[in-house]
Copies of this chain bind each other. A is one copy, B any other.
Amino acid sequence: MGLSRRLPDPLQVRLLRLLRDEGPLSRAELGDRLETARTRLLAEIDRLAAVELLVEAGPAVSRGGRRSTLVELNPRLRFAGVDLGATSIDVEIVDARMEPVAAFSEPADIRTGPRPILQRVNELLQKGGGRLDAIGIGVPGPVSFRDGVPVSPPIMPGWDRFPVRELLSREHGCPAVVDNDVNIMAIGERHGGVAHSVDDFLFVKIGTGVGCGIHLGGRVYRGSDGCAGDIGHIQVDPSGPVCSCGNIGCLEAVFGGAALAAQALEAAQSGASPALAEQLTAAGTLTAHDVAVRAAEGDVASIQLIREGGRRLGSVLASLVSFANPSMIVIGGGLAQLGHILLAEIRSVVYRRSLPLATGNLPIVLSELDSRAGVAGAAVLASELTFEQVL
């Protein structure tokens, strides 16, 4: 059998993950943690040291018997995480332990198209300095994970099937991986956030629209066409407003950044909210952020808008809880700032509507990593790529 047909070695991947997440360990500790025979483990360590993924890291504390030295991931490993939003580029370069060594964040309009946007991504990655071992990138639309390309992404004109992975990989001479933005946020939250070590959870992103990252059995579930989690177009109101997708009463048409801004405008113009009317006069425009600020200040109409949105989102999540029986729901994205009014409403609906068995132990919590979730997850995905590709 040729090396080219070798499948990813579960021991290899488990060993590298353990060192990434826990830092230097002795060979004895590794043997215990990985439940692996000593000879096989030592051979594996030698093999990974030979390709410079592992290095010795000084003597371990003695447990009696032979002295042991610590093993760690090569501290010179560098992974890049890129999070493309509708209106932003976020980049983080991390070391072998997933600690940031450089970070950049700037506005950018995804509709400018793939060449100028990826050109800028390349510049930021080069600003980070030094050679990269792998790149992970998330984009705000459906992705063919296998092909490394966006697929008919509604808000990304010009990106359909653009070879994002190939371009990044060629430019930086390292492997790259492309995923949906919500999926990388879920990965980030599971690795270093509130969903740490949780196998089955939903990450609900509330931004301009609404999306859901699905983590099942310890892995991201992407669906048969890569568009799993597209919950923004679930119908919540058959007599509701027309959605941008052409259907009636989708979740996104009644809740999310765009819907809230439209509802705020209506509340300001109808006189329902003098506070929002004042803001509109002052700024000439209203955003979902304004609703959050006014609600925090006690504006009744703004609180009502958030509650109503929470009720709509909650009813969708209640259905998904009955279906998927997750052990946690994480709420993230720019509008997670709507905070506790939103969370209280979502909880109330989900706990009332879903089965007792499914909600008996179901925390519904805010994202911990917040705006870093995307880049952190993309970098973790990049490291996994390296761990699986070693021969």
Which residues of A does B touch, CB under 8 Å?
1, 5, 35-37, 142, 151-152, 199-200, 212, 214, 216-217, 219, 221-231, 233-235, 245, 247, 315-316, 318-320, 322-327, 352-358, 360-361
Contacts and interface: CB of A to CB of B under 8 A. Distances in A.
Given A233-B355, A235-B353, A228 B324 contact: yes
Contacts of A142: 357
A interface secondary structure, majority: loop
A223 B202 CA distance: 12
A228 to B, nearest CB: 4
A151 B357 contact: yes
A320 B318 contact: no
A325 B234 contact: no
A319 B319 contact: yes
A273 B227 CA distance: 44
Nearest to A37: B1
B325 A235 contact: no
A325 B247 contact: no
Contacts of A326: 223-224
Nearest to A234: B319
A147 to B, nearest CB: 14
Contact of A322 (B35, B222, B233): B233
A358 B324 CA distance: 18
Nearest to A226: B325
Contacts of A315: 235
Contacts of A230: 322-323, 325, 355, 358
Nearest to A349: B235
Given A1-B37, A5-B35, A319-B235, A324 B223 contact: yes
Contacts of A324: 214, 221, 223, 228, 323-324
Contact of A1 (B36, B322, B325): B36
Given A151-B357, A319-B316, A325 B5 contact: no
Contacts of A199: 224
A248 B219 CA distance: 35
B1 A231 contact: no
A326 B221 CA distance: 11
Contacts of A151: 357
Given A227-B325, A227-B357, A227-B358, 16 more contacts: A1-B35, A1-B36, A5-B35, A217-B219, A217-B221, A223-B325, A223-B326, A223-B358, A225-B327, A225-B357, A225-B361, A230-B358, A234-B323, A235-B315, A245-B355, A323-B324
Contacts of A37: 1
A195 to B, nearest CB: 12
16 contacts: A142-B357, A212-B323, A214-B323, A221-B324, A223-B358, A224-B325, A224-B327, A225-B327, A225-B358, A228-B324, A230-B358, A233-B355, A245-B355, A247-B353, A320-B323, A324-B324
Contacts of A221: 216-217, 324
Nearest to A319: B234
B353 A231 contact: no
A95 to B, nearest CB: 31
Contacts of A354: 233
Contacts of A235: 315, 318-319, 353
A358 B227 CA distance: 7
Contacts of A219: 217
Given A1-B35, A5-B35, A230-B355, A225 B360 contact: yes
